[in-house]
Structure 1
Amino acid sequence: MKKIIPLVIIIISLFSGCSNAQNKPTADNLKDKQMKKVIVIGASGSLAKYAIDTLQNVPDVHLTLLARNKGRIATDTTGCTVVEADVMDYPKLKNAIKGQDIVYVNLAGDLEAMAKNIVKAMQETRVKRVIAISSIGIYKTPLKPVLVPYRKLADVIESSGLDYTILRPDWFTNANEVDYAITQKGQPETGQAISRKSIAAFVATIVQNPELHKNENLGISKPN
């Protein structure tokens, strides 16, 4: 007589920084797990790569990545919700922002128009928390033409009524280090070029502690 051995199958679902895009958790499930829903707008940027990689290692964070060309996102997107859309495509932008807890903005181009679209979408969907990357030097006189879009982005975000953190980083490096100092708006911008990894680490700190640096406009650089 053949001996029958019962087969027990144990399925373990592992969730890291993102949840599977094809099996995206429902809003109720995300709420039950107290997961933070974070959208990265401008996900194909060089700084965004580091932010995505870092946020994927933050517990209970679900990432949505928005890029004009998803093929240019330079990191592993497995498990992330990926949205291919232009920031100026308002219906798609609004749909992507709806239901998020935190909006992380990492863009280049017509930043004033983009910022206005993002602010409008956040206001209409009642999403309050935004972290936006601007640039060092935007409050110097005379203002360099290349920095005008970054100043306009900061102005739009500051006057939006949202819970914002604006970051004004120094020039980026690819150094494998986390070493940064911050300065408040109005203080002299000190320090030197900062690693993308450092900025990403600071962004992750705010994501984990959304009340931290709320309604602050910060310079960030590597200390001298």
Structure 2
Amino acid sequence: MKITILGANGRIARIAEQMLLEHDDIELTLFIHRDNELGAAVLDNDHVTVVTGDAKSEADVLPAIEGADAVYANLAGGRDSSEDIIPMAKATVSAMDKAGVKRLIWISSLGIHGEVPGEFGAWNARILGDYLTNYRKAADVIEASDLEYTIIRPAWLTDKDEVDFETTEKGELFRGTEVSRKSVASEVVTLLLNPGEELRASIGLDKPGTEGDRPSWMLSNSTEHLSE
């Protein structure tokens, strides 16, 4: 199986890469803007090809996607440049259409559909602001395509070494406030290895039992935050 990972330097992506490389029959093409964050275990693996380029450019993305069975997009527009995620979505869809690749896993954010209730939802919308607006526009690009996509909307992310999550479908209210990056990576890998699941779906991921007005890291002053 050939999988292309866009935004392969991302923290969730790097966990997923390690999980995928446990399978000897998987070949990874890792698309990155810079190559200084991938570890030697990945870079020196015979099953890995690294491609550099601009994720906003279809011309750069297309060569990385050609021949793939599936694409996992772990792309991110920063807090000050979140509008970049929209041209990234457009470039991804266009390149996949040209390459004839259908399966896409796309990482987005909780709250893009106004699905986070109560005080936590109000806080989340206030903190993220235009970030949510732009990530919603990018998700709209994906959903308007004819791709076999799954959009994943994680809660606020932690670095806990655990796989513990529940999912909600689009139209359902979000429940928890946080989830581990390892949990998100695990779900990404499951969907890549089972390409018929959650087709043309948008799913929320959170850790059960983390309901509240804020993620727990806000109370403990840890460094865990919302970031790919």
Could you say which TM-score interval applies, normalised by the shorter chain?
Answer: 0.7 to 0.9
- Asked whether the 8 Å contact 2:53–2:60 carries over to 1, the reply is yes
1:111 aligned onto 2:85 = yes
Bigger-Rg structure (1/2): 1
For residues 38 and 163 of structure 1, what CA distance do their matches in structure 2 show? 15
1:206: which partner in 2? 191
Residue 83 (structure 1) shift = 0.5
Give the TM-score normalised by structure 1: 0.80
The alpha-carbon deviation at position 55 of structure 1 amounts to 1.3
Structure 2: 5+ residue stretches without partners: 78-83, 116-121, 210-228
CA distance in 1, matches of 2:157, 2:190: 19
Instruction: Please state if 1:148 is matched with 2:122.
Output: no
Structure 1 position 83 matched with structure 2 position 51: yes
1:62-73 equivalence runs, <5 A: 62-73=27-38
Deviation, 1:72, is: 2.4
2: CA distance between counterparts of 1:49 and 1:149? 24
Is 1:124 aligned to residue 98 of structure 2? yes
The AA in structure 1 aligned to 2:23 is V
Task: Provide the rounded CA distance (Å) in 1 between the counterparts of 2:85 and 2:194.
Answer: 26
Give ranges in structure 1 of 5+ residues lacking alignment.
1-35
Identity score, percent: 41
Separation in structure 1 between the aligned mates of residue 75 and residue 39 of structure 2, nearest angstrom: 15
Question: CA contact under 8 A between 2:69 and 2:103: conserved in structure 1?
Answer: yes
Check whether the contact 2:104–2:149 (CA below 8 A) recurs between aligned residues. Answer: yes
Aligned to 1:52: 17
Q: Does 1:133 align with 2:107?
A: yes
Partner residue of 2:65?
97
The CA distance in 2 between the partners of 1:55 and 1:90, in whole Å, is: 25
Conserved 8 A contact 2:176-2:206 = yes
In the alignment, the residues of structure 1 paired with residue 177 and residue 40 of structure 2 have an alpha-carbon distance, to the nearest angstrom, of 27
Compute the TM-score of the two structures, normalised by the length of structure 2: 0.79
Query: Aligned with 1:130: secondary structure?
Result: strand
Distance 1:180 1:55 in 2: 19
Provide the rounded CA distance (Å) in 2 between the counterparts of 1:55 and 1:47: 12
Q: Is residue 67–residue 73 contact of structure 1 (8 Å, CA) maintained in 2?
A: no
Matching residue within 149, 152, 168 for 1:167: 152
User: Per-residue deviation at 1:113?
Assistant: 0.5
Q: 1:184 maps to which residue?
A: 169
C-alpha offsets along residues 88-144 of structure 1, whole Å, 9 cap, x if unaligned?
A: 233221111110011000111211101001100000110000000000011118863
In 2 relative to 1, CA 74–161 (structure 1 residues): closer, same or farther, beyond 3 Å?
Answer: same
Q: CA RMSD in A?
A: 1.6
1:193 and 2:193 correspond: no
Alpha-carbon separation, structure 1, partners of 2:95 and 2:183: 29
Figure out how many residues of one structure are paired with residues of the other and give that number.
189
SS of the residue corresponding to residue 90 of structure 2 reads helix
Query: C-alpha displacement at 1:86, in angstroms?
Result: 1.1
Residues 57 and 88 in structure 2, CA contact (< 8 A), matched pair in contact too: no
Looking at secondary structure, tell me which structure has more helix per residue.
Answer: 2
Aligned-partner Cα distance in 1 for 2:39–2:87: 25
CA distance in 2, matches of 1:186, 1:194: 20
Greater RCO, CA 8 A, separation 6+: 2
What SS does structure 2 have at the residue aligned with 1:115? helix
* Structure 1 letter corresponding to 2:33: R
Q: Does the CA-based 8 Å contact 2:166-2:206 persist in structure 1?
A: yes
Q: In structure 2, how many angstroms separate the alpha carbons of the residues matched to 1:220 and 1:46? A: 16
Taking the aligned partners of 2:39 and 2:153, their CA distance within structure 1 comes to 23
